[in-house]
């Protein structure tokens, strides 16, 4: 559904020194720098797949989405979405895609959502029956039938986002671009949006490209992720693969028996192992260690302490990705 080959985007940005002198100089001679927002991206997204696009602010996620939605032209490379070059903006392509941006509203602020949906019905030439069925389905799934006739500006942020989702999906798109759809929402609204996206994917099987700063969005929705750092894709694979290749550590948690003597950690852990103590209380101990040292550590803890329970945990995915985003070596 989405095929991307060597896609890149450069922006030419003016640089100006601070102050009046800098302003005068820039009036006469302007210094331009080239910012490589996206560098030769290669990937694909299949039907029914939700691909997560993960990266820090300014990494190039939104630029990538905007190129694929046909909003901006690339500087190089090629992409096909449902067989079309997005930036040529053929009508057939535009009828098959949807864009939802958590930070930008598409609905008329002073009008009820029902009116905005009627306009979209005309824009996408949705037959009356299909329009009614889709609207009933989507409002039912999101539980906002009763808010349809309320002005958008009088709705809560969560309700507005739900309306934005309906607006984007009314024409049953085959490709959906979701740019931070849960940004700024409370936890309940975030969860509702995530569940809706999953259910919608299950039912309609569009290709979806999701960007989000909330790791829970990525964990709950995406089987596969792209990690983008300074415009460059540094990882493309299943979420689990990130853990396997980039999480070099695991965490051992030990629950001690009630009344057990306090362990001498310096003696216990200080013998030839590369360890970090994350938590230490009279009842509980959490220690981070390299993956290959976990058996030895677990054995030592069981042997030398009065252990009630022991668990080996993977590092939190957010921590691993954050490490990957911020380290040039790409390891956590």
Partner 1 sequence: MGRYLRLYLNFLRFSFSRAMEFRLDFFFRVVMDAAFYAVQIVFFSVIYRHTALLGGWSYDQVLIFACGFFLIDALHMTIFANNMWWLPIFVNKGDLDYYLVRPVSSLFFLSLRDFAANSFLNLLLAAALMAWALLRFPGPLDPLRVTLFLALLVNGAFLYYLIHLAFLIPVFWLHSNRGLGETFYTLEKYSEKPDRIFHGWVRRLLVSALPFSLIASFPAALLFEGLRPGLLLHVLGVTALAFAAVRAAWQLALRNYSSASS
Binding site for partner 1 (CB under 8 A): 11, 58, 62, 66, 69-73, 89, 91, 94-95, 97-99, 101, 103-104, 106, 108, 110-111, 115, 118-119, 122-125, 179-180
Nearest CB to partner 1, comparing residues 226 and 269: 226
Closest approach, Cβ 55 to partner 1, in A, equals 12
- Least distance between partner 1 and beta carbon 74 (Å): 11
Place of tokens 């990957």: 324
Cβ at position 137, least distance to partner 1 in Å? 22
Q: Are 69 and 177 in contact (CB under 8 A)?
A: yes
- Residue 122 beta carbon to partner 1: minimum distance, rounded to whole angstroms: 5
Q: Put residue 83 in one of left, alpha, beta given phi > 0 → left and psi -120 to 50 → alpha.
A: left
Complex with partner 1: residue 91 or 267, whichever CB lies closer: 91
- Shortest distance, position 95 Cβ to partner 1, whole Å: 5
Does residue 106 sit in helix, strand or coil? Answer: coil
- Which CA distances in Å does 254 have to 125, 269, 278? 61, 13, 12
Residue 273's closest CA among 300, 255, 237, 254?
A: 300
Considering the complex, state which of residue 101 and residue 252 has its C-beta at the smaller distance from partner 1: 101
Q: Which letter does DSSP use for residue 159 in this model?
A: H
Can you list the positions of beta strands (E) in the chain? 2-15, 31-45, 50-54, 76-81, 97-101, 175-179, 207-211, 224-229, 232-238, 249-256, 276-280, 284-290, 307-314
CB of 90 to partner 1, least distance (A): 9
Q: In this structure, are residues 192 and 185 in contact, taking their beta carbons and an 8 Å threshold?
A: no
Q: In what order do the strands lie in the sheet with 76-81?
A: 31-45, 2-15, 76-81
Q: Nearer Cβ to partner 1, position 190 or 256?
A: 190
Nearer to partner 1, 66 or 224 (CB): 66
DSSP for 248-313, written as a single string:
-EEEEEEEEPTTPPPP-HHHHHTTT---EEEEE-SSEEEEEEEGGGHHHHHHHHHHHS-EEEEEEE
Residue among 113 and 332 whose Cβ is closer to partner 1: 113
Smallest distance, Å, CB 54 to partner 1?
14
- Smallest distance from partner 1 to CB 96, Å: 9
Q: Which is nearer to partner 1, 108 or 214 (CB)?
A: 108
Q: Cβ closer to partner 1: 111 or 310?
A: 111
Tokens 């989507």 sit on residue: 138
């Amino acid at each position: 559904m989405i095929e991307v080959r060597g896609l890149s985007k450069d922006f030419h940005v003016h640089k100006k020194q601070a102050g009046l002198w800098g302003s005068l100089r820039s009036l006469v001679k302007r210094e331009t720098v080239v910012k490589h927002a996206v560098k030769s991206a290669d990937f694909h997204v299949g039907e029914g797949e939700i691909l997560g696009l993960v990266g820090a602010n300014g990494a190039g996620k939104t630029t990538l989405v905007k190129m694929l939605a046909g909003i901006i032209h690339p500087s190089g490379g090629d992409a096909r979405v449902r067989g079309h070059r997005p930036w040529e903006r053929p009508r057939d392509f535009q009828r098959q895609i949807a864009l939802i941006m958590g930070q930008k509203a598409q609905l008329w602020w002073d009008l009820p959502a029902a009116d905005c949906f009627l306009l979209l019905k005309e824009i996408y030439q949705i037959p009356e029956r299909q329009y009614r069925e889709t609207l009933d389905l989507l409002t039912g799934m999101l539980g906002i039938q009763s808010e349809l006739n309320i002005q958008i500006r009088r709705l809560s942020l969560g309700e507005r986002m739900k309306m934005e989702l309906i607006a984007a999906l009314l024409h049953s798109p085959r490709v959906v671009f979701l740019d931070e759809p849960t940004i700024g929402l409370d936890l309940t609204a975030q969860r509702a949006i995530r569940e809706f996206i999953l259910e919608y994917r299950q039912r309609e099987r569009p290709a979806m490209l999701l960007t989000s700063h909330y790791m829970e969005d990525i964990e709950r929705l995406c089987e596969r992720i792209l990690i983008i750092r300074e415009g460059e894709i540094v990882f493309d694979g299943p979420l689990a693969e990130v853990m396997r290749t980039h999480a070099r550590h695991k965490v051992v948690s030990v629950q001690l028996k009630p009344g057990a003597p306090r362990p001498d950690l310096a003696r216990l852990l200080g013998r030839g192992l590369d360890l970090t103590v994350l938590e230490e209380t009279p009842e509980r101990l959490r220690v981070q260690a390299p993956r290959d040292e976990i058996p030895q550590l677990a054995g030592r803890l069981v042997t030398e302490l009065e252990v009630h329970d022991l668990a080996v945990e993977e590092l939190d995915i957010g921590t691993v990705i954050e490490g990957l985003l911020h380290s040039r070596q790409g390891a956590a």
